[in-house]
A and B are shown apart, each in its own frame.
Chain A
């Protein structure tokens, strides 16, 4: 089993990316963090970007929309449709970026063992070229980030939880 905090990213096929990560929390809680707007806003998106808009119906057949706003006012829109949703174990949705044609299929599973949850995210793109283009462009957004703000945030969270 992976250690908590270690993110594993692989390419099971030339058009897929898979991520595996363990979280130190029960899976109902982790599932909610992936499917509730007020929680998603707290962690989703490259640093320096905020989830300025999150709306929609997180239920089977429901549509959702995200608008990510960058540090220089740039905007990146995403939308999706929920195909399967079985809280707290499985979520399948189709997602697309406003800037790109086509959509990818994302399958997320949540497995709990001894209070820790292993999340596996499998993203399937329409083709290898689309996968490589989307992933590489994501790099461009993330490349400017530094780790200073992350360290600050972790520090403030640690002091607030010990304070409680």
Chain B
């Protein structure tokens, strides 16, 4: 399971591969169609597709002529507890926000105290 998760996350660690997945989320496509939006050669795109196939995120159709690529979401769903990981990242963001809000409140208290002393 860990190996599969590593393969999934490794596959997702590249912006071009993520963009390929996002495009496939809208429907299957051939390698030519996938290469189109990138200023990248077909062999380069094929390299990325191989990584995605090995991670089980993309499957290739059997049609010998076209061999369309299709998104397989099961590995993403299987990255079990993905929601938990999402929660962890945002938890960290929000803890930093907690600290910032404490600073802001302290600064506000300081300004209010100064004002009172003057009057």
Residue numbers of A with Cβ under 8 A of B are 5, 7, 9, 11, 17, 19, 21, 23-25, 29-30, 33, 39, 42-47, 76, 98-102, 126-130, 132-143, 145, 150, 153-154, 157, 160-161, 164
Contact = CB atoms under 8 A, between A and B. Distances in A.
Contacts of A43: 93-94, 96-97, 99-100
B113 to A, nearest CB: 10
A150 B92 contact: yes
- Size category, B interface: 35 or more
Contact of A153 (B90, B91, B99): B99
A160 B106 CA distance: 10
Contacts of B90: 7, 9, 19, 21
Do most interface residues of chain B lie in helix, strand or loop, or is the interface mixed?
Answer: helix
B95 interface: yes
B12 A137 contact: yes
Contacts of B26: 101-102, 126-127
A23 B93 contact: no
Contacts of B22: 99-102, 130, 133-134
A141 to B, nearest CB: 8
Contacts of B87: 7, 9, 19
Interface in B62-119: 71, 73, 76-77, 79, 82-83, 85-106, 110
Contacts of B89: 46, 138-139, 141-142, 145
B94 A21 contact: yes
Nearest to B37: A101
B34 to A, nearest CB: 12
Most A-side CB within 10 Å, residue of B23, B89, B106: B89
Interface string B1-36: 000000011001101001101111110000000000
Q: Which 5 A-B pairs have the closest CB atoms?
A: A129-B25, A43-B96, A142-B89, A25-B101, A99-B15
A126 B8 CA distance: 22
A33 B100 contact: yes
28 contacts: A9-B83, A9-B86, A17-B83, A17-B86, A21-B90, A25-B104, A29-B105, A39-B100, A43-B96, A46-B93, A99-B18, A100-B22, A101-B19, A102-B26, A128-B73, A129-B25, A129-B71, A137-B18, A139-B89, A140-B13, A142-B85, A142-B89, A142-B92, A145-B89, A145-B92, A150-B95, A157-B102, A164-B106
